[in-house]
């Protein structure tokens, strides 16, 4: 399959982590299309003196990358494409193979620009990339090409200047070429938006790199992005008290833009399979008493999990650290979004105390998002893991983490603490990311999971279904998770917490979820836990064992 993804605005470091994972672990071909925030990238033979200013002074970062070429610029208004392909006929990535592949990438860009109405576009001898008026006395570069070819697979790719801030090129010697101009479609009088460029390029890419009818698919994150979609803390601002009355208004607008028009009435009775049994037991009451005594928070209670009686009766709970207030406002989640208190330094020891008192062989620790903290709450995770290891060394530890804004150092803090399972949820399909969790990013979540896999951890992710996704979109998301090496995926039906949250678009029947699990296994996922009431931590111990972890046998009674 050729899997085409429009990922929207994506940090360079996240796109690179995702590329590396697809390059190393996937047998499918992929074409990632996106825009970057302002960044200057340096190829392996780049001359740093070609960066003429301090990048921070112009709102950019500089990154050294494993591709050819010198320094180039990426930023908003520029379409970046990363083909991760198995390249036919490549003997090992030598110069001849690389030149032939680069020629093909250039031709894709040339064909795209020609189709968009740009005349006199082609190659300039001795200079890679795509040029306007290459045979004139004033050739102008409109697209940069920089690739890596190794073991018959490709990474990196092309960058087409659609309508970027051309002043950003004045701060570098673009591609190390000091005597040639850089241009854009907008500067050449071609007024097109990014979506038109992508929609023009994709069929040409499928024709060039596809494998026949039915052998490719495409998934896009929603095209419209607005800063006000983000929670205030995600914007680096102080947050007012939650305004629930406004939430449903904003969500209705986002749903319409995502093409979701259907909704289950609040008055409609849930299907029989969605009714969890309320059966308090001595085990439930004992665990609840322990939580209250130690002043601990569980996501089971805060998120209104329907499995709370089953799990607590079995002596299993998901501890929620970093407090009980989240700095994001996801459209499906019940957790409190008011201003959080500082992390409690005693919290890790209290969690470890509860694990020891309950004799847990398998402990799950999750968190609220803490965009107000420099490390996103990563230090509290590391401290909690260490405390559990001291108190009960044999306990298997699963952590369900936020994305820590994609910060590699913060994520490494968690990875280096050595959890047995690293869980991070993508939550929904690309098209519904802005609707469900506007302060997060599909590409960033895939990058978090990719980095965790690189760190040698068993990885896990989850989907909440019934918010307007199609079956085909879920299959594509499962394929993405399998492609980066995720081991376990959970999938369960969304339940609307309040009228101010996202509506339920439809109910997934149990047999549909059975089919979904089968598709996931066919794609290469070690275990898919899919049922109407499945949540991220439901049957976590069983899922971990299915993924190959050595865990204590499941208790009975």
Annotated binding site: 67-74, 144-146, 157-159, 300, 305, 311, 326, 330, 333, 537
Phi, psi of 207 (to 5 degrees): -60, -35
* Residues 475, 469: Cα–Cα separation, whole Å: 10
What is the token pair recorded at 510? Answer: 């149990």
Dmax over CA atoms of the chain, in Å, equals 85
**Is 175 an active-site residue?**
yes
Q: How many CB atoms lie within 10 A of CB 427?
A: 24
The CA distance from 495 to 214, in Å, is 34
Least Cα distance to 328 among 232, 203, 213, 448 occurs for 232
Query: Which residue ranges make up the annotated binding site for [4Fe-4S] cluster?
Result: 300, 305, 311, 326, 330, 333, 537
Residues paired with 29 in a beta bridge:
2
Gyration radius (Cα) of the chain, Å = 25
For residue 507, count other CB atoms closer than 10 A to its CB.
Answer: 17
Closest-CA residue to 506 (of 469, 538, 537) = 469
Bind-site residues for substrate: 67-74, 144-146, 157-159
State residue 554 phi and psi, 5-degree precision: -65, 135
Q: Which among 353, 354, 408 has a CA at the least distance from the CA of 376?
A: 408
CB 484 within 8 A of CB 18: yes
Alpha-carbon torsion 449, 452, 456, 457, what sign? negative
**If we measure between CA atoms, which residue out of 346, 345, 339 comes closest to residue 325?**
339
End-to-end CA distance of the chain: 47
State both tokens at 346: 């005693």
Half-sphere exposure of 442 (CA within 13 A, CB side): 27
CB 330 within 8 A of CB 427: yes
Residue 359 backbone dihedrals phi, psi, to 5 degrees: 65, 40
Alpha-carbon span 54 to 65, nearest angstrom: 18
Cβ atoms 174, 189 nearer than 8 A: no
Residue 482 burial (CB < 10 Å; 0-12/13-18/19+)? Answer: buried
Q: CA–CA separation, 403 vs 293, rounded Å? A: 30
Looking up tokens 């998770």 gives 481
Per DSSP, helices labelled H in 392-463 are 408-416, 433-436, 442-454
Q: Which residue has the tokens 């620009």?
A: 113
Annotated catalytic residue within 108, 110, 175, 299: 175
Long-range contacts of 195-199 (CB under 8 A, 24+ apart): 195/223, 196/116, 197/79, 197/112, 197/116, 197/160, 197/162, 198/6, 198/33, 198/79
Cα separation of 195 and 404, whole Å?
A: 29
- What positions carry a catalytic annotation? 175
């Amino acid at each position: 399959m050729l899997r085409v993804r429009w990922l929207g605005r994506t940090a360079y470091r996240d796109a690179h982590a995702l590329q590396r994972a697809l390059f190393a672990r996937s047998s499918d071909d992929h074409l990632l299309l996106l825009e970057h925030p302002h960044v200057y990238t340096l190829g392996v033979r780049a001359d740093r003196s070609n960066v003429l200013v301090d990048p921070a002074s112009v709102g950019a970062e500089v990154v050294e990358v494993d591709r050819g070429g010198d320094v180039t610029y990426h930023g908003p208004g520029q379409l970046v494409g990363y083909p991760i392909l198995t390249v036919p006929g490549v003997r090992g990535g030598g110069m001849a193979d690389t030149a032939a592949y680069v020629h093909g990438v250039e031709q894709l860009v040339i064909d795209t620009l020609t189709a968009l109405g740009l005349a006199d576009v082609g190659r300039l001898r001795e200079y890679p990339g795509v040029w306007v008026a290459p045979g004139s006395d004033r050739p102008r570069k409109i697209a940069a090409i920089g690739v890596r070819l190794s073991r018959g697979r490709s990474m990196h790719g092309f960058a087409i200047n659609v309508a970027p801030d051309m002043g950003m090129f004045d701060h570098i010697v673009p591609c190390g070429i000091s005597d040639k101009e850089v241009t854009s479609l907008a500067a050449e009088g071609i007024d097109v938006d990014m979506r038109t460029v992508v929609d023009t390029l994709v069929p040409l890419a499928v024709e060039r790199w596809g494998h026949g009818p039915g052998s490719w698919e495409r998934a896009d994150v929603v095209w419209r992005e607005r800063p006000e979609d983000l929670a205030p803390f995600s914007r680096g601002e102080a947050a007012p008290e939650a305004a629930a009355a406004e939430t449903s208004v904003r969500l209705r607008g986002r749903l319409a833009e995502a093409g979701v028009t259907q909704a289950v009435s609040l008055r409609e009775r849930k299907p029989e399979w969605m009714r969890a049994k309320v059966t308090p037991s001595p085990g439930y009451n004992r665990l609840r008493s322990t939580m209250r005594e130690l002043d601990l928070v569980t996501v089971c209670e805060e998120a209104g999990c329907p499995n709370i009686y089953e799990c607590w009766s079995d002596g299993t709970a998901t501890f929620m650290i970093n407090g009980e207030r989240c700095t994001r406002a996801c459209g499906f989640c019940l957790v409190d979004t008011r201003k959080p208190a500082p992390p409690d330094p005693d919290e890790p020891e209290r969690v470890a105390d509860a694990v020891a008192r309950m004799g847990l062989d398998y402990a799950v620790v999750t968190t609220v998002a803490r965009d107000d903290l420099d490390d996103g709450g990563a230090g509290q995770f590391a401290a909690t893991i260490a405390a559990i290891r001291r108190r009960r060394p044999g306990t298997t530890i699963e952590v369900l983490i936020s994305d820590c804004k994609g910060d590699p150092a913060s994520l490494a803090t968690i990875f280096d603490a050595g959890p047995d399972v690293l869980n991070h949820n993508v939550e929904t399909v690309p098209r519904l990311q802005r609707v469900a969790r506007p302060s997060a990013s599909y590409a960033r979540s895939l990058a978090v999971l990719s980095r965790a896999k690189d760190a040698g951890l068993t990885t896990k992710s989850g989907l909440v279904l019934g918010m307007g996704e199609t079956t085909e979109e879920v299959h594509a998301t499962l394929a993405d998770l399998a492609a980066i090496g995720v081991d376990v995926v959970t999938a369960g039906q969304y339940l609307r917490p309040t009228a101010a949250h996202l509506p339920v678009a439809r109910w997934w029947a149990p047999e549909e979820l059975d089919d979904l699990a089968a598709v996931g296994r066919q794609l290469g996922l070690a275990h898919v836990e899919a049922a109407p009431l499945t949540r991220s931590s439901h049957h976590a111990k069983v899922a971990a064992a299915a993924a190959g972890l050595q865990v204590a046998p499941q208790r009975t009674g």
